[in-house]
Amino acid sequence: MSAPREQGRFHNVEAPGSKTLREVLHWQRHRRPAPWPRWIEDAPQPAPVALDAEGLSATFIGHASFYLRIGGQGVLLDPIWSARCSPLPFLGPKRVRAPGQALAALPGVDLLLVSHNHYDHMDLPTLRQVRRRWAPPTLTGLENARHLRKAGLVARELDWWQQAEVAGLRVTYVPAQHFSARGLGDRNRSLWGGFVVQSAAHTVYFAADSGWCGHFAEVAARFPRIDLALLPIGAYEPRHFMRTQHVNPEEAVRAHAVLRPRQSIGMHFGTFAGLTDEAIDAPEQALAEARAAQGVAAGDFITLPFGGTWLG
């Protein structure tokens, strides 16, 4: 099924994902965010290494940025190395920890995937660096290529459930419950979604941003043998404002149960102050509580150290 679209704007299947300007201003005026530290110095982690076609690894850069090795290829997901996720270099949510790995430490990028156009997922300064270093083929959702051209990237656009064969991998753009915008006048004019990346040996699901919805069951039905699911666990408070855009840890564990992956890894937490109202350590604490409440083994749904690598 293609993404619903009316009068040039995409919309969700189950619930509105975007908020009105009045709702956004009300949240900003009345929000009571938990204090975050000014800076965290994480322990350095070993750099990711190239693997053969049978290998699978995922390196957590921070927020929703991951570096995959799958099918002998390097895949970069929603990379952001900038100090802020904002259109302005001096204003907006600010990084409180360095990216877990330097771009120069990555052993090659053969494919770049950009899920949607929010600044914490589509960071043009980082994308310019990626293009200069590797110039990888790029996949994204409908109507996002125009933004990526500003970074010098020529991207192929995909609709929901559309597939592309790139770098020896099969990539499917899959639905999510979210929204898009980079300014005041372009809300929902470009598509949002996640990715399923398949090699001959493995399947990885990258959920990007999503509220709780039936799309998780749809992904599970079409991809019944997922090796690795990268699921968001942060940016969920206040719940009345965020619930249609971002799952909370309890819902992320429910998604894990629906998807039945061999391994889930949490993301979209602990990186940018001001993006959400929960405390920096709340997502991982709530994830542990949700696992226990739902009978999920601690090792089945984990988080990685910033810069850490999971080997499948």
Question: Architecture of 48-296 per CATH?
Answer: 4-Layer Sandwich (3.60)
Token pair listed for 29: 């005026």
For the cut 90, the answer to whether the pLDDT of residue 194 exceeds it is: yes
Q: Summarize pLDDT for 60-90 with one digit per residue, the tens.
A: 999 999 999 999 999 999 999 999 999 998 9
Q: 127, exposed or middle or buried, with CB in 10 Å at 0-12, 13-18, 19+?
A: buried
As a whole-number percent, the residues of the chain with pLDDT over 90 amount to: 92
Average pLDDT over residues 300-309: 98
Token pair listed for 26: 């009300």
Q: What's the predicted TM-score (pTM) here?
A: 0.96
Residue 302 sits at φ, ψ, to 5 deg, of -120, 170
Which residues have CB under 8 Å from 309's CB, separation 6+?
45, 46, 48, 57, 58, 59, 60
Task: Report the SS3 class of residue 113.
Answer: strand
